[in-house]
Structure 1
Amino acid sequence: MRPEAGRPRSAGTVAGIALCAAAAAASMGIGYLLPAVSPLLIALALGASTANLVAVPGWIRPGLDFSAKRLLRMGVALLGLRLIFDDVLGLGWGVLAVVVAIVVLGIAGTLYAGKLLGLSWSQRVLIACGFSICGAAAVAATGGVIDAEEEEVLTAVALVVVFGTLMIAAVPLLAHLLGLSGWQAGMWAGGSIHEVAQVVAAGGILGGGVLAVATVVKLARVLMLAPVIAYLAARRRRMTDRADTDTGQPPLIPLFVLGFLGCVTLRSCGLLPSGLLDAAQFVQATLLTSAMFALGIGVRVSLLRSVGLRPIVLATLSTVWVASIALVGALLVS
């Protein structure tokens, strides 16, 4: 979709952002009525439906691109306001070691399985980070750093949302069948389910004090987004050096990662009033939901048909692998 002649680019930017904001408002409203469904999933589905049922004018493309990239990064940065260092450290070194193992081994195992399946490096990395760290936000953030193809990002986002949603029911059921204690079940849920909202939904099903444990463990995984993105950015920088191109060097540490760490620090210092935190978290949710709608606009039925079974197989293997690591860790540290 190219901007149409006679229309200023600024008008297309404003119109595209406004469309994404309206879609985000609708998605969050539906999510309020259906708490078990993530607004990110709703926005993604709404964007895909719009793209396949309506002719989206090309002149608003600048606003859609801005939402899918810039608004996304701002939303990821503000995600840091959910974290408090003391809460994470309060889990204990044993739990923190398990969280690191979940992310590191989860990514490594997924990359290896994806290589055996013959998937591209970027597709493997997107699925690995999404399933091992924090779902759609990790996929989208990773995609911007490694310069992944749009269809690869969309495939990984769709898979992480679908499989994470299935985990909402699967983890509580399996935890009951395995006879896990509330603390073990909470740690397993937080260590294995992909999205923060999905963890909250599963924690609510498990009941009791499980939700608090699951949420803090999940947020500890979210904190791992910063070093992983920094590593991927450094790797891309080295690859650019070897290629000796004139395209410019990517930043060693992306600005939104520094923003994420800054937000964690601000929240941990206790300097922000509760009203401001509530407003910031609403803005953060709106930004990410807007970005998911913009990403969904790129989904085409023809694209989904061409994906094939290999990414789905990798998503299945990654889900089982990450869940197994988290379960073993929960049993060991308890």
Structure 2
Amino acid sequence: MAEERIPAYREHLTRRTILCVLIAALLLGVLVGGRLPDLSAATKKLLRLGVVLLGLQLSLPVVLELGPGVLVAVVATVAVTFLGTRWIGGLLGLPRGLSTLVATGFSICGASAVAAVEGVVERRDEDVATSVALVTLFGTLAMLALPLLGASPLWIGLSVHEVGQVAAAAPASGLAAAMAVKLSRVALLAPVVALVGGGRGSGAPVVPLFLVGFVGLAALRSTGVLPQVVLDGGKVAATVLLAAAMFGLGTAVRPKALLRTGPRALALGALSTLLVCGTGWATLALLT
């Protein structure tokens, strides 16, 4: 019996190790961020490459097995979080651009969503930096809190902000389901960007290329032709890339600047996180 538990324990230890590496990279980035040049361009590329390689950990039939109830929960959670966050931002007296960036990042896929939408909305440069800081801070808190609360993989996939954070927070046994739900949220990025921009493009493809790569590798993995050594190598490479991206995201966080933004921006991040987590839990309870 004990021998049967060893592989599961090792996999659990691996997930915990990945989580610790990502958190350490993020904190290190925050500590040294003021001493480094702007890493936003490199961070965006590393983050998207890491997300693409995460496709090797997902089997597409798992997405199809989610069922209509879960897919409806995804759409409802994204819609409620996006619209609710913009409404809360207005109540708090925050700029419309900042509220929209935060709403997109918290409802869909974190910093990648902020980067995708910032070119099609009227915003200030500090709004982008603040949004990335908020989504990094509160996404990390959600990544840590939900597993401690015993959240199901589906709830984690519906609620945690970044794709990499979902990969770190989900239990090994439920990683495929959590990533399938998260992928479904990411797939809504294209229509949201189109709606927010009102037809004004930023020069980026309507469907993000990193999403195409993610689905492509997931489809390749689903064929069963890839040997285990390739899948293991992909997991290591994805962890390295995501850790580097977390470091880059950390360098964009300026604690003093975030505090200067005032409690209203922090309140928006906290309320939006509670909204996405609460809506995710409620929709799963009602629809599944």
Report TM bin, short chain. 0.7 to 0.9
Deviation at 1:49, TM superposition (A): 0.7
1:172-183 map, 5 Å? 172=150
Residue 305 of structure 1 is aligned with which of 259, 266, 277?
A: 259
Distance 1:306 1:99 in 2: 34
Partner of 2:23: 41
Is the Cα contact below 8 Å between 1:74 and 1:256 reproduced in 2? yes
Distance 1:308 1:278 in 2: 44
Q: Deviations over 1:262-282 (max 9, x none)?
A: 222222233322221221122
Q: Is 1:68 aligned to residue 43 of structure 2?
A: yes
Deviation at 1:48, TM superposition (A): 1.3
Distance 1:192 1:253 in 2: 22
Q: What amino acid sits opposite 2:26 in the alignment? A: L
* Identity among equivalent pairs (%): 32
Q: Is 1:160 aligned to residue 127 of structure 2?
A: no
Deviation at 1:216, TM superposition (A): 0.5
Aligned residue pairs total 265
CA 188–288 in structure 1, closer or farther in 2 if over 3 Å, else same: closer
Partner of 1:252: 206
Aligned-partner SS, 1:149: helix
Structure with larger Rg? 1
TM-score (norm 1): 0.67
Q: Deviations over 1:211-244 (max 9, x none)?
A: 53x750453223320331454167548225xxxx
Deviation at 1:290, TM superposition (A): 0.6
Is the Cα contact below 8 Å between 1:79 and 1:281 reproduced in 2? yes
Moved more, 270-279 or 32-41: 32-41
Partner of 2:159: 192
Q: What amino acid sits opposite 2:81 in the alignment? A: G
RMSD (CA atoms):
3.1
Q: Deviations over 1:89-120 (max 9, x none)?
A: 22322222223322232222223222322333
Deviation at 1:130, TM superposition (A): 4.0
CA 70–324 in structure 1, closer or farther in 2 if over 3 Å, else same: closer
Where structure 1 has 5 or more consecutive residues not aligned to the other structure, the ranges are 1-30, 176-184, 205-210, 241-247
Q: Is 1:226 aligned to residue 226 of structure 2?
A: no
Is the Cα contact below 8 Å between 1:84 and 1:267 reproduced in 2? yes
Moved more, 124-133 or 217-226: 124-133
Distance 2:156 2:114 in 1: 26
Is the Cα contact below 8 Å between 1:106 and 1:321 reproduced in 2? yes
Deviation at 1:86, TM superposition (A): 0.9
Distance 2:274 2:217 in 1: 32
Deviation at 1:249, TM superposition (A): 3.2
CA 254–326 in structure 1, closer or farther in 2 if over 3 Å, else same: closer
Where structure 2 has 5 or more consecutive residues not aligned to the other structure, the ranges are 1-12, 119-126
TM-score (norm 2): 0.76
CA 258–81 in structure 1, closer or farther in 2 if over 3 Å, else same: same
Deviation at 1:293, TM superposition (A): 1.0
Deviation at 1:140, TM superposition (A): 2.0
Deviation at 1:261, TM superposition (A): 2.4
Deviation at 1:309, TM superposition (A): 1.5
